[in-house]
Structure 1
Amino acid sequence: MAPKSSAAGKERTTIEEDEVLQAVILADSFNKRFSPLTLQKPRCLLPICNAPLLDWTFESLALAGVQEIFVICRSHAELVKAAIKNSKWSKPSAGLKIVPIVTAKETFSPGDAMRDIYTHGIITSDFVLVTGDLVSSVRIDEVVRVHKARRKTNKDAIMTMVVKESGVRHRTRSRGESAVFVIDPETSECLHYEAVMGYPPKKYTKIPREILNEHPEVEIRNDLIDCSIDVCSVDVPSLFQDNFDYGDLRRDFVHGVLTSDLLMKNIYCYIAKDGYAARVKDTKSYDAISKDILSRWTFPLVPDDNHPGGHSYEHIRGNKYIAKDGTVALSRTCKIGNNTLIGSQCVISDNAQILASILGQRCTIGVGSVIRNSYLFDGVVVGPNCTIEFSILAAGVQVKEGSRIEKGCLLADGVVIGPQARLQPFERLSRRLLARQRSEEDDDGEDDDEGEDEDETEDEEGVSEEESEDDNESEIDSDYGEIEANQDPDALRRLGSENNAIIWPQPSIDEDEEIDEVEHPTNLRLMRLGDDASDLYLSDAGSETSESDSDDDDDFDGSDLSSSVTSLPLPDTSNLVQQADEAAITEFQHEVKLSLDRAFAEGHSVDNAAVELKTLRMAHNVPLRRVREAVVTAIVDRIKIVESGGPAQRQEIAVVVSRWGALIDKIGGVDATETIEVLQECCASSERLPLFGQILAALYQEDVVEEEDIRAWHKKPQSRGDDQKSTTLQDNFLKCWNAGAFMIKQFDEQESDEDSEEESDEEETPAKQTGIQEKAAPASSTPTTTIAHRESSGESDDGEEESEEDEVESDELSENESA
């Protein structure tokens, strides 16, 4: 029987190797955050950096080695099918099999879509589950490998969620929708999941007490970005089928599985250290991810290489991207700012400005117009002297002369406004129903000759494209009819005499209406482009009424003995502006660190590294000192601490400073005294305090700081640490100051030696030295610390004595700082 068993094991191994890696894409968004841009096309077909979101998702899955993809769609299914058919992914050379699945019209949530997947029986093994608005360069194949290895020892491990670490104010982290993860640090098992909304704010999270009893060590993480990438077992769709209460993947399914006493299933987290992953869930994240792509955080998926849309762009300093086909017409007097992408066949007229914006193909910008932090899709025409800020204009929009579009506006396909239109912040416009119908009739007349057979094709579950399209049309027409019938004539006059638009009302709810808390209008403000919510007081929900206060007190006084309460960070609403500034600085420092880490790892030139730092500074509008602090800190942190000290430590410092020290003066301004101040602050608050004197000497050798700079810094009262509140910092600042005093003493002694030599022997040619020589001292006395003199070019008469002096120099500098 033994040989038979061995053969069976070999067969199982072969089957595992031959398994096709499947992926499921949920193409529907199941919300209206991009409305009215999504009235005539699904969110997954909206362009980001001039490529449909769905193509970015396909590219991400192709990088992971996925071979078979099922695209689950309900709204605008015919457009999704056409997009797939016409894309490069439909070609045999793509190596992907993509199957669109049109779900029933009753599909209103991700849970409904998962139940449809179970009904179709298309999943045969572990699969990757993502949304159709994902931009990612994470190696999902590594997550699949980890998941499958875990499944071999634990069949109840049904899902692995991919998350990434981030700061609280990271720009791709949604302020309106985040989560608390309770994770076992040894196994990465997710023990508890709780959704956190931006509004109403949540001050506490409740963790089941049995989790703390069963796990001696847990991590409570509120700093993770959910990448919306899941590796699931084949059992997951059946769990949705068994429980019709599961609607949302996280708030219902994950939370439900982890709190169920019957299912006994396990869900794990994979904290991705490398790569980029984010989901375009709202207009604010659309802006953030667009900027990340232009800033090349998504490498290798960047506009000038591996562009999912197949376009070719030239990358110019400052993260400017211009179509390479030679069809872009730029006036000599126009201005193209940093973090900008311009598609083919665009025309930019005299004195026009394109700043931190993206233009699709065939866009025209009139004389003197300004486009700032905005996104224009294909075929947009902007007349002369117009201003557009922090807005999205869909394909074919026309903005006539002298119009102004304020921040946060969304203009749907084919909208015409102006001349002299004035849009208020966050207004949403679409074409009037009659204008839209006429346009569609013209389009239908052009498409009649393409064949009528495709109009009645059946998808895999028997729902025809015509039926699906009729359902979409009926929903759109009902929305249009109601909104168009209630237009304000005065508001329409603001849109100009030649407009064809209607204004959509701002989101609101009735008091008796039940609404998903994530889609609450106030919460949605935290997720829309251009809205800093500075006027929004995110106070604790429990403080709004006395009744709420009473309920909260009851909860936290011990009535719920099965849970342990942990407080969540709640912003101080009395100073939102200061918090926003601090958040911007924190985000900037994080991005600078990533940029420098990449420069160090990939061996970038100092000039290229400086260009990227200047771009980041302009994008975040931070003071130059902040950039200097980030650069000096990165250089100091890169210096390894050598336990033996002496020449080995000095050599380590020299290598790093000679390679990267020049970067300090190439970030936009030279201020050597400030550089020393920043170095002092950095060393005084880190374990590299003993290296301050040696690093300062190395900067002196590399001409980054001069003698007069060291003296000027040393004279400042704050260099002694008198203004430091912490006693420890005061002591550390004083040690750095003493090290500086020791160097100044050497400068004085050098000057004295040179004067005496000139007086004693004027006729003799002065000996060339490689360092500042020690003063003659009795044999019994301790040698004086020396600092190399960088102007000299010769050699010492006795190499051995010079080496000994160097060792004494390094040791005494360190001893002096530690004193």
Structure 2
Amino acid sequence: MVKKGIDKHTDNLTERKEPLQAVLLADDAFTRNQFRPLNLDQPKVLCPLNNVPLIDYAIDFLASVGVEQVLVMCVADAVAAYVSHQRTSRLTVTVIQDPSFLNAGDALRELDKRSIVKSDPFLLMHADAVMNIDISAAMLAHKKRHEQDSAAIMTILMREKGVQDDDLVVGMDPKQRIYYYDQSAKSVRVPCSFISTPVELRSDLVDGGIDICSPDLLARFSDNFDYGDIRREFVTNSVAEEEEGLQNIIYGHVVTEGYSSRVTDPYSYAQTSRDLLKRWCYPVVPENYFEREFYQMQRHYLYVESNARIARSATVEGPGMIGTCTIGENSKLTRCTVGNYCVIAAGAVLEETHLWSAVEIGPGAKVIQSIVADGAVIQAGAVVHSGCVIGAGCVVGENVVLPPYTRLSLKEEKEDDFGDGWDDDSSNDFDEGEDRDQPCLDTHLVGPDGKGHIWKPKPDDEEYNEDDEGYLSVAEKLKSESIGYDRTALEALRSSYQQEPSDNFSDMGDDEGMPDYLDEYSGAVTFSADAEPFAANNNDEIIGRQKGVDVIRELKSICMEYEMISPIENLAIELNSFKFSQNASYSDCVTAATMAILERMNITQDMKDVKMATEFKKALQHWAPLLQKMSITMEEEKAIVLALERCACEETEIGTVLSSGMSFRFLLTVLEDEEVVSDEAIFAWADERQTEGDTPRGRLFRSKAVQEFLEWLREEESDDDDDEDSEEDSD
């Protein structure tokens, strides 16, 4: 449990008659089931995020905003046992466990029955939420509204999003009362008969997973046993109620500062992990989350535990986290998190991968953009492609090549499985007389020496019901929830689907009109690792893009019009909105932003190289967070270098200045010093230019200044490795 959290956001709260309470929904039964098969082995809230159980982030946040008692609602024995053994002097934790809870509505009805929620208001939070937002203003606003109107029983906290990750559409009036709420909006139909005020429909918001509620909310669930899911059923129906006197009035509160995220699937898991490592959620940072372990932050947000054993010839690049583990000779780890007791053998290659506890990676194995759970083994020479999930205890055999987006597990999901497979009493997991030591194995996939079977949703799994996601097959929906999936084309497909006219009398079959490249899910998805989903046939016919639009020019124009007195987050929202509307990429965004930064500097031939570098560094103090946030992978970082190169090679005054003297080298140095681009991205750019002919790009690359810079960069990287080896020897 966190010991170094910071108490904040509570100074402005008015005095309360009762201690502030929070209800923490801490079970898979209370949330959407998108974390399979990882939560077949243990509840999602106990899964490690950067080597910390997910639930710890939620409890620590509640302590930081002044909560004095947390009521942890759960089904699983494992959650109850873990929470009960945590010790914190900052708040009281009470566990309410009931195996009869089937959904969040059941948990809230139990609270109403017991009458133990006394504080008005109280906080209602999902345990898979990670945040550092200030809730004091929202608390005061909620309390004032409820005093004026007892029907105002709930305030949903939301933030403006930089990345679109679901179909949430919210309709609010100027006072932020919600009149429309839909998490799966294919089309929007707002009943207007009872609305007497302007309502703005917004699709740029993310639900933070925390609400401010009055105790009357619990009675509403007791009055209606049909309410199970808080958002899909209670909120959606309440805001649509037209009859006066029956309305549950719900407000929204849009947070413009701070960080919040929900870990709902492997994709959001990886995104949240990266954001925490880059310190976007300060003070929720690795050095504040460990009592007996000491993590030291190195260059590029790489955190290494003091007892980690890393071979001299191994290469480890951040952002990443290395626990108490062993990393062998000549292995290479790029943007990875590694848990305790892991063993990574010589020559292994890991990229953007998350290893939990006691994982073994064999010699020469390669794992790309995947999650490998506790005790799993990837044997020698095996290759695990992007988007894979390897469940606890699974073994990928020697020299096996696992297709992209494969999900493996040792656990079987029975038709009557309600998600309690990780409970101590797991008799329902196996048929009577079945040998528990002989799980179903797909040896044709994992190899004769492997263990594990392909996980796929049950036929009646509502989360993967194609009727709910008409434009996606089960296979594509699973891909879209996986690490390494490019969601740009998905957003374009959603937009095109929503724009198509529909009539309620269509007799089209369930499979008619579906894109022929979306196949039925059969477990492992077998398509080329280099293939891009939804790839366009040519640049002139990009799905979702208006014909003739120059996205770089338009994005650059947005950056040029941006006023520096405004928060950089506002520009991020504008860029993302245009990006989704024209099916652009993050590389396009950072390219345009870099070009705009240079143009806004008013570079002239009179400007000295050192002066230019100083001005560029000063500009990055404001622009660097935007570039870093939009640099999802190394490709975006390389795009920044390419944008700088593009400006230097243009026949303009800026190009003349950048391509002469030391200017280009100095700006590259600033980008590297400010950690906007990594050494790896610069080397990747250099590798592409090795074979460049006698062109402006080739001459710029082979200039003495650039070559000296690259040589210095390689020597610095080598010196850093030597320093780390010296520290290990001294230990």
Unaligned runs of 5+ in 1: 1-13, 434-465, 552-570, 602-618, 637-652, 682-695, 706-819
Q: Does 1:354 align with 2:321?
A: no
User: Aligned partner of 2:385: which letter?
Assistant: E
- Provide closer, same or farther for how the CA distance between residues 550 and 208 of structure 1 changes in structure 2, counting only shifts above 3 A: farther
- Provide closer, same or farther for how the CA distance between residues 578 and 530 of structure 1 changes in structure 2, counting only shifts above 3 A: farther
1:85 maps to what in 2? 84
- Provide closer, same or farther for how the CA distance between residues 84 and 575 of structure 1 changes in structure 2, counting only shifts above 3 A: same
Q: TM-score, normalised by structure 1?
A: 0.59
Q: Does 1:492 align with 2:443?
A: yes
User: Aligned partner of 1:317: which letter?
Assistant: R
Is the contact made by 1:585 and 1:622 (CA closer than 8 Å) also made in structure 2? no
Q: Does 1:114 align with 2:108?
A: yes
2:193 maps to what in 1? 210
Q: State, as a whole percentage, how many aligned pairs show the same letter.
A: 27
1:131 maps to what in 2? 126
- Provide closer, same or farther for how the CA distance between residues 403 and 73 of structure 1 changes in structure 2, counting only shifts above 3 A: same
In the TM superposition, what is the alpha-carbon distance from 1:52 to its structure 2 partner?
A: 0.5
Distance 1:588 1:101 in 2: 54
User: Aligned partner of 1:273: which letter?
Assistant: T
User: Aligned partner of 1:412: which letter?
Assistant: G
2:203 maps to what in 1? 222
Q: Does 1:34 align with 2:35?
A: yes
Distance 2:368 2:237 in 1: 43
Distance 1:423 1:307 in 2: 34
1:540 maps to what in 2? 497
- Provide the secondary structure at the position in 1 that maps to 2:158: strand
2:393 maps to what in 1? 414
In the TM superposition, what is the alpha-carbon distance from 1:181 to its structure 2 partner?
A: 1.0
In the TM superposition, what is the alpha-carbon distance from 1:473 to its structure 2 partner?
A: 1.2
Q: Which of residues 224, 237, 240 is equivalent to 1:243?
A: 224
User: Aligned partner of 1:385: which letter?
Assistant: G
1:255 maps to what in 2? 236
In the TM superposition, what is the alpha-carbon distance from 1:19 to its structure 2 partner?
A: 2.2
Q: Does 1:331 align with 2:319?
A: no
- Provide the secondary structure at the position in 2 that maps to 1:100: strand
- Provide closer, same or farther for how the CA distance between residues 18 and 468 of structure 1 changes in structure 2, counting only shifts above 3 A: farther
| Greater helix fraction, Structure 1 or Structure 2 | 1
User: Aligned partner of 2:259: which letter?
Assistant: Y
The C-alpha deviation readout for 1:637-668, integer Å capped at 9, x for no partner, is xxxxxxxxxxxxxxxx99x9597159899985
In the TM superposition, what is the alpha-carbon distance from 1:103 to its structure 2 partner?
A: 2.0
User: Aligned partner of 2:391: which letter?
Assistant: A
- Provide closer, same or farther for how the CA distance between residues 135 and 633 of structure 1 changes in structure 2, counting only shifts above 3 A: farther
In the TM superposition, what is the alpha-carbon distance from 1:419 to its structure 2 partner?
A: 1.7
User: Aligned partner of 1:383: which letter?
Assistant: G
2:73 maps to what in 1? 72
Distance 1:332 1:591 in 2: 44
Distance 1:25 1:588 in 2: 44
Q: Does 1:390 align with 2:369?
A: yes
- Provide closer, same or farther for how the CA distance between residues 310 and 635 of structure 1 changes in structure 2, counting only shifts above 3 A: farther
1:189 maps to what in 2? 177
User: Aligned partner of 1:474: which letter?
Assistant: S
Is the contact made by 1:55 and 1:308 (CA closer than 8 Å) also made in structure 2? no
Q: Which of residues 444, 452, 457 is equivalent to 1:501?
A: 452
Q: Does 1:17 align with 2:12?
A: no
Distance 1:577 1:120 in 2: 53
Is the contact made by 1:340 and 1:357 (CA closer than 8 Å) also made in structure 2? yes
In the TM superposition, what is the alpha-carbon distance from 1:258 to its structure 2 partner?
A: 1.3
1:287 maps to what in 2? 270
1:377 maps to what in 2? 356
In the TM superposition, what is the alpha-carbon distance from 1:396 to its structure 2 partner?
A: 1.1
Distance 2:204 2:303 in 1: 33
In the TM superposition, what is the alpha-carbon distance from 1:576 to its structure 2 partner?
A: 4.1
- Provide closer, same or farther for how the CA distance between residues 540 and 620 of structure 1 changes in structure 2, counting only shifts above 3 A: closer
In the TM superposition, 1:315-326 aligns within 5 A as 315-323=297-305, 325=306
Is the contact made by 2:331 and 2:346 (CA closer than 8 Å) also made in structure 1? yes
Q: Does 1:272 align with 2:229?
A: no
Q: Which of residues 323, 327, 330 is equivalent to 1:343?
A: 323
- Provide the secondary structure at the position in 2 that maps to 1:318: coil
- Provide the secondary structure at the position in 2 that maps to 1:494: helix
- Report which stretch shifted further, 666-675 or 361-370: 666-675
The C-alpha deviation readout for 1:72-101, integer Å capped at 9, x for no partner, is 001x2x2112222343xx23xx31100111
User: Aligned partner of 1:136: which letter?
Assistant: M
Distance 2:61 2:289 in 1: 11
In the TM superposition, what is the alpha-carbon distance from 1:675 to its structure 2 partner?
A: 7.6
- Provide closer, same or farther for how the CA distance between residues 119 and 587 of structure 1 changes in structure 2, counting only shifts above 3 A: farther
Q: Does 1:301 align with 2:281?
A: no
User: Aligned partner of 2:497: which letter?
Assistant: D
Distance 1:408 1:302 in 2: 26
Q: How many residues align?
A: 562
User: Aligned partner of 2:483: which letter?
Assistant: L
User: Aligned partner of 1:43: which letter?
Assistant: K
- Report which stretch shifted further, 354-363 or 502-511: 502-511
- Provide the secondary structure at the position in 2 that maps to 1:124: coil
In the TM superposition, what is the alpha-carbon distance from 1:546 to its structure 2 partner?
A: 8.3
Is the contact made by 2:315 and 2:330 (CA closer than 8 Å) also made in structure 1? yes
User: Aligned partner of 2:207: which letter?
Assistant: D
Distance 1:672 1:98 in 2: 56
In the TM superposition, what is the alpha-carbon distance from 1:585 to its structure 2 partner?
A: 12
Distance 2:296 2:596 in 1: 30
1:179 maps to what in 2? 168
Distance 2:131 2:281 in 1: 7
> In angstroms, what is the RMSD of aligned CA positions?
4.9
Q: TM-score, normalised by structure 2?
A: 0.66
Unaligned runs of 5+ in 2: 1-12, 413-419, 509-533, 570-584, 603-610, 625-636, 665-731
In the TM superposition, 1:442-521 aligns within 5 A as 469=423, 473-477=426-430, 491-505=442-456, 508=459, 517=468, 521=474
Distance 2:651 2:54 in 1: 43
Distance 1:413 1:587 in 2: 44
Distance 1:500 1:60 in 2: 39
In the TM superposition, 1:589-604 aligns within 5 A as none
Is the contact made by 2:559 and 2:593 (CA closer than 8 Å) also made in structure 1? no
2:47 maps to what in 1? 46
Is the contact made by 1:52 and 1:309 (CA closer than 8 Å) also made in structure 2? no
- Provide the secondary structure at the position in 2 that maps to 1:517: coil
Q: Does 1:97 align with 2:92?
A: yes
The C-alpha deviation readout for 1:744-789, integer Å capped at 9, x for no partner, is xxxxxxxxxxxxxxxxxxxxxxxxxxxxxxxxxxxxxxxxxxxxxx
- Provide closer, same or farther for how the CA distance between residues 301 and 33 of structure 1 changes in structure 2, counting only shifts above 3 A: same
Distance 2:590 2:596 in 1: 10
- Provide the secondary structure at the position in 2 that maps to 1:196: coil
Is the contact made by 1:23 and 1:70 (CA closer than 8 Å) also made in structure 2? yes
- Provide closer, same or farther for how the CA distance between residues 370 and 102 of structure 1 changes in structure 2, counting only shifts above 3 A: same
In the TM superposition, 1:498-647 aligns within 5 A as 498-505=449-456, 508=459, 517=468, 521=474, 522-532=476-486, 538=494, 540=497, 549=506, 575-576=542-543, 625-626=591-592, 628-629=594-595, 631-632=597-598
Q: Does 1:674 align with 2:628?
A: no
Distance 1:66 1:476 in 2: 38
The C-alpha deviation readout for 1:493-525, integer Å capped at 9, x for no partner, is 3323332323323665599x9888379835444
User: Aligned partner of 2:90: which letter?
Assistant: G
- Provide the secondary structure at the position in 2 that maps to 1:315: strand
User: Aligned partner of 2:367: which letter?
Assistant: I
Is the contact made by 1:542 and 1:549 (CA closer than 8 Å) also made in structure 2? no
